[in-house]
Amino acid sequence: MILSQLKAEAEEAKKDRAAPTLHEASVARMQALQFGEPVTNICAGDKNPHLHAFFVAYVVDSYTNRYGVVHRSHYAKCTDKKGRSWKTQIDVIYPGHLDAETRAALFEPVWQATYGKGIEP
């Protein structure tokens, strides 16, 4: 009974929020992507080979610890179409091959959500 009340209150709080959280927006973005679509890791530098990739799958790994608590990890599995594949956090993957200015603009909210302050110049 108490658990159902807490779930109902959590659903109401979600409805009251105007904008989705970074995680919710990332999950929606991953669910909209199709296999083989070009993606960009906005956190990667220009010389990083994982900067531009192609989407393979949205992966949710979960496990239960010995106390019964379920932990989930959300990843985007990507490839370079040359035989290499890797998992990347979903909050830094965006559709399309983006230029440096666009990547910098998209990275600001990710930085603030992670570290709680703006990017130092």
Break the chain into its structural domains and give their ranges. 20-115
Q: What is the DSSP string of 61-120?
A: EEEE-TTS-EEEEEEEEEE-SSS-EEEEEGGGEEES---HHHHHHHHHHHHHHHHSSPPP
Confidence of residue 33 (pLDDT cuts 50, 70, 90): very high
pTM over 0.85: no
pLDDT value, residue 14: 63
Residue 78 pairs in a beta bridge with 55, 86
Confidence of residue 2 (pLDDT cuts 50, 70, 90): low
Question: What kind of fold does domain 20-115 have according to CATH?
Answer: SH3 type barrels. (2.30.30)
